[in-house]
Every structure is written in C-alpha cells, then in structure tokens.
Amino acid sequence: MNVSKLIKNTSIKFGTSGARGLAEDFSQNVCVAFAMAFIEHGKRCGKLSDDNLCVAIGIDNRPSSYEMAQGVATGLIALGLDYKFHGVLPTPALAYAAMQRGEACIMVTGSHIPFDRNGLKFYYPEGEISKFDEQDILSQYIELPDELSAPELIECESATNTYINRYLNYFSELNLTDKRIGVYTHSSAGRELYLRLLQQVGATVVELGRSYTFVPIDTEAVSKEDQQTAKIWANELNLDAIISTDGDGDRPLVADECGNWLRGDVLGLIVSQFLKIEALSVPINCNSAIELSGCFKQVARTKIGSPFVIEAFVQLQKQHKKVAGFEANGGYLLASDIDEDGKLLSALPTRDALLPILVVLTQLAKLPISKMMPGLPKRYTASGKVEHVPSYVGLAFLKALQSDTERLLAELDITYRVIEFDNTDGTRLILSNKDIVHFRCSGNAPEMRCYVESDSGKRAETLLYCLKNKLSYLTEQAATTK
C-alpha cells in the first residue's frame, strides 16, 4: 500500500516542517513505511544513489522517540541499507553532519509541539525535503516486510562533534571568560551540547530548569511563566544572558541581562546584519522592520514553514552572493557559505538555533544584549496561540474574516479599517493605524496562531491579549454549535 493510505485514519500529516501527529499513531509499520518511501522517492528523483548509501538517524528527548527510531531503522534494514544512530542531538546537528558527508538523514522529533505528539523530519544530502518531495513520499507504494524485528540502536557521537567544530572554527576568537551565561536546558535535545560548547569558550555556565519529562517550549509564543522565570533568573543569578532552544534545537531563545526574551525575527535581523547578508527569504509573519532597516538588497516574503523559505533561496542565489533566511520562531537558515577573514562558515539551509545564539554572545564583549536593538526600526511584534481549535473551526474563521470582514473585526473589538489584505498564509490585515494583525491555522497541531505588530511594544502585547481572548471565545462557540 502507499503511505497516504496507511496514515489515512491517523492524525499524521506534513506540516510546516516534517510529518507530525499523535505519537501513538506512529506505529512501527508507519515508521517503517515512511523510511522506505523516503528512500525510494530519493532514488526515483535522483537525490539518492545506491553507492555507499548510509542514512543518519537522530532523536529528541520525547519518550516515544527511541521506538520510532527503531521503526525507521527497521525500514532501512528491509531495503538492505546501512544506518548510523546518533542518539539525542539537535536536528541541525544531524542535518549538518549528514550534508557534509553526502548522506541522507531522518530526525525523530515533534519539535515544540506537546509531548503526546511526535514526528519525522527528512533530509537528502542537499538539505531538507521540499513540498513536492512530501507529496511523492506519501504516494510511494511500499511492501512492508513480513517480519519486523526492531534492532537495538547503538549510539555514535560523530554528528555532534562535526556540528560543534563548525562553530568553534568560525567563532575561534570567542572568549566568554568574564561572562555568566544561563542555559535553560529543560528537555532540549541539545542541552548537553550547549553546556559543553559554552564551557569550551570559557563562560561561567549556570544550568537552569533541567527537566526529565518533555517540556514543549514554543519560541514563537513564550509562555508567561517562562517570561517571568527568566527575569527572576537574570536578577538573582547576575546573568549576562540566558540561552535556550525548543525541543529539537532548531529554534533559539535568547534573553538579555534583564531576562527579557528577544523576538525570533529580531534575532534573525541581528544575525543577518552581523553576517552582512545581501538578500533574505522570510515568512509573511516576520517583523516589517526587516525591510524598514534598509540593510538588504532584496527581501522575499513566503508562506510560513522552512520548505517555503528554502524554495525562495533558489531565485535569490541567482542574483546575490550572500543569501539567508529566518523565521519568526528564530530559526536561522544559511543558504550561502560565509567566508570572512579566512574563516569559513559553511551553508546550512535548514533551521538552526546555535548560530543566532553565538552571534549574540560574540557581541557581548562590546555591549550588553539590551543595547543591541536600539538601532533597529521601532516595530514591535507579539504572538500567541489558542489551543484546542479543530482545523475546520479555524478554517471557517479565516474564511469568514475574508468574506464578512466588518462583522468579524467588530467581534474582535478592532475599530480601525483594513487598508490591505494578505492571504499568503492565513489572513494578514494591515490596519489604518499601521498595526498588523495576522491569523492562521497551525500546520502542526489543532490550534490557531495570532500575530500582532505595532509601533509600541505595550500596544502589541495588549492587542494580542485582547485578540487571543476574543478568538478563544469565538472558536469555542463555533466548535460547540457545529
């Protein structure tokens, strides 16, 4: 049968990055089928060859991830392929090491979504799969092996070392001997790596919040609890910075010396200026300060999700030498090699959390993090989510927002008129007072995302709070009256 038929009655689907769904739906058969379909599609389209084909496998710290990795390995064995299991590590670490070796890789992770869910991310030697690849993988006909015997997975650490060396070589002069860096480790797949790397560059490392149960950290909508806790940590422990990531280490969190978390798109802007990027690819929900900064020759706006950001690279690289992208969640995608003063930072065209973190820490010797933003255009963003919103309810809301705009805006207590609609991904409204309001259905979980941009940080937060409450009420009403 083909993969789409196998997962037809499950929660599994491709979202903004990889296949996601309830962990219980990723049975051994499903994981075997995905692995086999990924390989077969790669061979059919010329992205993989039979010569020395070895597939790298990695996992995050979710309780379901190891067994899913066993299913993936079982599928590879059924095809007569070799694999290397790299254990728990960040997704970009696995992807980078595999790309450097010309290998494919599969990461078992649900990223930032709740612990009862999980997922699979797929990479060919040139990088993560495209939307075309996703559909063709689902349509592959797979004959599952008659006997499925899951292998014991023996861990090797080579991918982690390759990833760390990428940064130690480029940031060879980084010295944090007089800095106190808090590392919010929670259940991040990269927590051991971050502690090790910061210690190697001389920082006084203060580990914070380690958890032995999975914590779904969402860098795009940091919880009120995590916002308050960071301020307490920074004040009581005299920290120069706090760093963290989401569950699989491809989305960064950086807080300044006061414990204020930086927005992901602000981080991306700082990194792009530091690397002297010429052209950017960013999703539609990123801060408009990117264009207003005047730092870039071209900015391409895309749908939300790393595959769309990567698709835009192709055209940008035809015209510009230094090309990159980032998302509102802070994940940074480097499309071009950066060669400065004889130091090479190889391209990594997939979401990465460590590069933004190190770019900010590198500049700590000159000024505190809170002073790195004043030169940026005064546009402030806030984002949040309303959970437990079925997809049919979210889609109906977006449709009504476009067809019956005045009524919906009144119900949301928005009094300004709409001067521009953007339906690139969800519905983005530019209002007459220059505020921006953006709603979309999540591609990974049953929830709705809400983004706000304004000239005032306080107004952005206040507007977001009001919109979330109104949106929660409206969607609850719609779900109960179906």
Query: How many whole angstroms separate alpha carbon 325 and alpha carbon 84?
Result: 30
What's the CA angle centered on 473, arms 467 and 478, to 5 degrees?
120
Query: How many whole angstroms separate alpha carbon 25 and alpha carbon 76?
Result: 20
- 428-432's contacts with Cβ under 8 Å and 24+ in sequence apart are 428/284, 428/285, 429/401
Active-site positions read: 111
Query: How many whole angstroms separate alpha carbon 118 and alpha carbon 100?
Result: 27
Q: Which residue has the tokens 């609609």?
A: 421
- Strand 13-14 and strand 19-22: pairing? antiparallel
What's the CA angle centered on 329, arms 325 and 334, to 5 degrees?
25
Q: How many other C-beta atoms are found inside a 10 Å radius of the C-beta of residue 11?
A: 15
CB of 196 closer than 8 Å to CB of 95: no
Query: How many whole angstroms separate alpha carbon 189 and alpha carbon 185?
Result: 9
Report residue 280 as tokens. Answer: 């950017």
Query: How many whole angstroms separate alpha carbon 398 and alpha carbon 431?
Result: 17
CB of 435 closer than 8 Å to CB of 281: no
Q: Tell me if residue 445 falls in helix, strand or coil.
A: coil
DSSP strands (E only) in 149-201: 180-184
Q: Which residue has the tokens 């950001």?
A: 309
Q: Which residue has the tokens 């869910």?
A: 117
CB of 295 closer than 8 Å to CB of 282: no
Q: b/e string for 137-170 if b means 16 or more Cβ within 10 A?
A: bbebebebeeebebeebeeeeebbebbbebbeeb
Report residue 54 as tokens. Answer: 């070895």
- Residues sharing a CB contact under 8 Å with residue 335, sequence separation 6 or more, in sequence order: 281, 310, 313, 316, 317, 323, 324, 325, 347, 349
Give φ, ψ of 325 to 5 degrees: -150, 160
